[in-house]
Structure 1
Amino acid sequence: MDQRVSFVTLAVTDLERTRAFYVDGLGWEPELDVPGEVLMVPVGERLVLSLWDRAAFEAEVGEPALSGPGVVPMTLAHNVAHPREVDAVLELARRAGAAVGEAVVREWGGYTGYFADPDGFRWEVAWNPGPIGLRVVPETVIDATPGE
């Protein structure tokens, strides 16, 4: 089996609110938009974010094991090439209505912050000047300083 992820699917409680956040607020372009059912957005060369109405998701896949309050034990990450882009993306998310935390310099040398989409899914916005950061964003500036 090839090492590959083709789709990341999130079951959402209000697809219209989710569409407003991602499409209208963040400016993402859907590739497939079936009102009341699913919104699919290309997010990488061969990767699609599928935002699926929760009732339709549960009908096909089953009820999620984690249905209570709190944070889903996963994150999605959006890596950027420069620390100032972390702040810019977090501000865009804030304007789109997201709950946003402040970005901080991490002990491993990067600069990251988080926002929550309308269903509480956490997105990390990260500048990672290390080898794995360069793997996902080859044009990463490795000698930048957060706040510049």
Structure 2
Amino acid sequence: MEQRVSFITLAVQDLAASHRFYVEGLGWTPEFHDPDEVLMFRAGPLTVLSLWDRAHFEAEIGAPAQTGPGVAPITLSHNVHEREQVDAVLSDARAAGAPVVSEGVEREWGGYTGYFADPDGFRWEIAWNPGPVGQLVLPPVGNTT
């Protein structure tokens, strides 16, 4: 098996709310959208973020193990080139209706990160990571794909 991830799929309660948040609020462009079932975005050169209606998700793979209160045991990270971009993206997410879970803070490992929650509570980390691993995930400056 090649060392890569092709799709990241999240089960969502309200696909229309996810569409409003990601498309209308954050300005993302869908690659595919079936209003009853799924919303897909190119998240990188070879990666798709798929937001799947929870009922369709459960019909195919089964009910999630954790359905109670709390935070889903996954985070998604959007890394940026400059420290100041962390606060700018958090501000954009807030304007799109997302609660900011954590304002940007200096981290002990040398970076600067903050978190917001999407309509289903999935945590998005906005990160400036100046180290070598952080640089692995950034597109060249000016290239958004």
Q: What's the TM-score bracket when you normalise by the shorter of the two chains?
A: over 0.9
1:130 matched to 2:119 = no
Equivalent runs, 1:113-128 vs 2, <5 Å: 113-128=114-129
2:42 alignment partner, SS class: strand
2:103 alignment partner, SS class: coil
1:5-32, CA deviations, whole angstroms, 9 ceiling, x for partnerless residues? 0000000000000000000000000000
2:63 alignment partner, SS class: coil
Aligned to 1:17: 17
Cα–Cα, structure 1 residues 31 and 125, in superposed 2: closer, same or farther, change >3 Å? same
Kindly tell me the number of residue pairs found equivalent between the two proteins.
140
Q: Distance in 2 between matches of 1:10 and 1:57?
A: 9
Moved over 4 A (4+): none
TM-score (norm 1): 0.92
Aligned to 1:51: 51
Structure 2 spans left out of the alignment, 5+ residues: none
Aligned to 2:73: 73
Aligned residues of 1:81 and 1:139 also touching (Cα < 8 A): no
Structure 1 spans left out of the alignment, 5+ residues: 141-148
Q: Distance in 2 between matches of 1:137 and 1:30?
A: 21
1:87 deviates by 0.6
Aligned to 1:107: 108
TM-score (norm 2): 0.94
Instruction: Name the Cα RMSD after superposition.
Output: 1.0
1:38 deviates by 0.2
